[in-house]
Amino acid sequence: MSSLLETPSDRLLAAVRQLLTAKGVVTREEIAERIRTTDNASPAQGARMVARAWVDAAYRARMLADGAKAAEELGIPMRGMPPLGVLEDTAGEHNVVVCTLCSCYPRAVLGYPPFWFKSAAYRARAVRDPRGLLLEFGTALPAWVKLRVVDSTADYRWMVLPLRPAGTEGWSEERLAAIVREGDMIGVTFPKLP
Amino acid sequence: MSALFPAGTSVRVRDDWPETRGACHIRTPHYLRGVRGVVEKHLGAFANPEDLAFARPAAVLNLYHVRFSPQAIWPDAQGDALVVELYETWLEAA
């Protein structure tokens, strides 16, 4: 039954799916649901959380206390996902996230990590030379702002809640969400007005 | 699970190198071994990934956010704080 278009990995995947369902580990529907969730995950989800936190102080407090619950509140599926921690930027302290061991990333709310997040260069420099690293992303952090690097090594996934930029007073939540990019929630850039 | 090290406790990461003794899966970065830090927060308790990785029965361990001074690790470091998730078994009071 093999064809020129069928690769060994396709056959392996089909065999694993078949075994998982035959042994009752998961159902076909659960596999389909997870594929849907993964496909829908993107930085736009995290951006919706950030925008809500900017306009709703009570939501902000809930998000800082439990990121996964706050994501679910906005309809983002978190079942089976690791706990989500939210790092709050303040006027005096900025957060940057890295995973020096591999590529731990809050995929449920940010989607697939950008290619550079997994690079050895980013992982090495984020812990040792984070200010120089930010400059490469065009981010000049004022000297008086403390830089806090979070190395994501274990069971949590982390996202940054950046500061709301000046000049966005009175903006709708939707308009605010549109200016929040993945790099802003990793901490290598700040949200900017278009 | 009650935390052995409350927030503010001064701790040291064990200067241990299991990777020199055989196959293992470790979530403690090598650059922290033997380094002193301060517990920032107890994050909860999780099954030990060092055992999960080998499908062994895994004890549930306390997980902490521990803050380090980057300059204590690299004299030329440019950050102000480095915060890392570490399991209780890797920490000792310092």
CATH at B37: 2.30.30.50
Question: Could you tell me the sign of the dihedral formed by the alpha carbons of A133, B81, A46, A52, in that order?
Answer: negative
Cβ–Cβ gap B44/A83 under 8 Å: yes
Chain B nearest-CA distance from A176, in A, is 29
Q: Is residue B14 part of a domain?
A: yes
Give the one of A132, A150, A153 whose C-beta lies nearest to B27's C-beta.
Answer: A153
Q: Is residue B4 part of a domain?
A: no
Q: Is residue B3 part of a domain?
A: no
End-to-end CA distance of chain B, in Å? 22
Q: What percentage of chain A carries pLDDT values higher than 70?
A: 98
DSSP per position, A100-160? SSS----HHHH-SPPGGGGSHHHHHHHHH-HHHHHHHTT----TTSEEEEEE--SS-EEEE
Q: What are the structure tokens assigned to B93, written together?
A: 């009071």
Q: Is residue B1 part of a domain?
A: no
Across chain A, how many H-helices and E-strands are there?
10, 4
Cβ–Cβ gap B84/A155 under 8 Å: no
A103 is catalytic: yes
Q: How far is CA A57 from CA A61, A84, A127, A128, A158, in A?
A: 6, 19, 31, 34, 20
Residue range of the domain that includes B56: 10-93
Number of domains in chain B: 1
Would you say how long chain B is, in residues? 94
pLDDT averaged over every residue in chain A: 94
Tens digits of residue pLDDT in A71-119: 999 999 898 889 999 999 999 999 999 999 988 999 999 999 999 999 9
Q: Is residue B44 part of a domain?
A: yes
Q: Is residue B26 part of a domain?
A: yes
Q: Is residue B19 part of a domain?
A: yes
> How far does Cα B49 stand from its chain's mean position?
13
Task: Using 70 as the pLDDT threshold, list the residues of chain A that sit under it.
Answer: 1-3
pLDDT averaged over every residue in chain B: 96
ipTM: 0.96
Q: Which of A80, A158, A113 is nearest to B41 (CA)?
A: A158
- Helix H or strand E encompassing B51: helix B49-52
pTM: 0.92
